[in-house]
Amino acid sequence: MTPGFLKVALLVLRKDLAIEARSREIVYTTLFFAVACVMIFSFAFVKEEGVPVDNAAAGILWIAVAFSGTLALGRTFERERYSETLRALLLAPAARPAVYAGKLLGMILMMAATEVILTPMVAFFFHAPFFARPLLLVALLGLGTIGFAAVGTLFAAMLVRTRTRDVLLPILLYPVTIPVIIAGVRGTAALLQSPPEEPVATLWIGLLTAFDVVFITLALWTFEPLMTE
């Protein structure tokens, strides 16, 4: 009897978390890369007097999330490819979309772990009052991460067998996730104003929700034909 959708997804998630918990390689490297990104961008966006450009913090946060997220995607699927476990997963008598859902959940948790440390750090370095409206911020970051990870997991998985996968992933992923990044940056920038512009942020949260629904649905639907040869 084939296990149900949720059960498969959670099994895949548990497997990924177990592997990651032992070495913590991806979480540490992703976080460090994100911090390095923030450092580099700080040189671009901090004026001579040491004061950052207005609203730079919002952009820097999201770019660091996007870049480090791409890295994490690459590393996660490289690990799968190296031990050939992806093929084993696909051969298992489980619904393919459930495998995708499990990997997506793992990816979201990975990116969330990075963001939990990255956001206060960016707020600190750029004097950005991110936490004036914490619930809205969490909604923006959460929905944006889900959207980015949804497309990213699908693309990274389908590129696993491709020779030029490392360079193709950013080329394919970034244009498609531009609406997510724009919505995230604009929404976060709205929260940085004094007073925080809540209706604007809510508008962008709505867009992110729509995006997430459309793209997760598409990904679940197309995962199977994309992964079969």
Contact between 53 and another protein (CB under 8 A)? Answer: no
Two tokens at 28? 């540490």
Contact between 156 and another protein (CB under 8 A)? Answer: no
CA distance 21 to 115: 18
Query: For residues 186 and 196, is the Cβ–Cβ distance under 8 A?
Result: no
Q: Of the candidates 47, 84, 163, 194, which one interacts with another protein according to CB under 8 A?
A: 163
3-class DSSP state of 12: helix
User: Looking at beta carbons only, is 57 or 173 nearer to another protein?
Assistant: 173
3-class DSSP state of 52: strand
Contact between 168 and another protein (CB under 8 A)? Answer: yes
Q: Is the peptide bond before 195 cis (omega within 30 degrees of 0)?
A: yes
Contact between 62 and another protein (CB under 8 A)? Answer: no
Q: Amino acid identity, residue 135?
A: L
Q: Which stretch binds another protein (CB under 8 A): 38-46, 64-72, 129-137, 160-168?
A: 160-168
Residue numbers at the binding site for another protein (CB under 8 A): 151, 154-155, 158-159, 161-164, 168, 171-172, 174-176, 178-179, 182, 203, 207, 211, 214-215, 218, 222, 225-226, 229
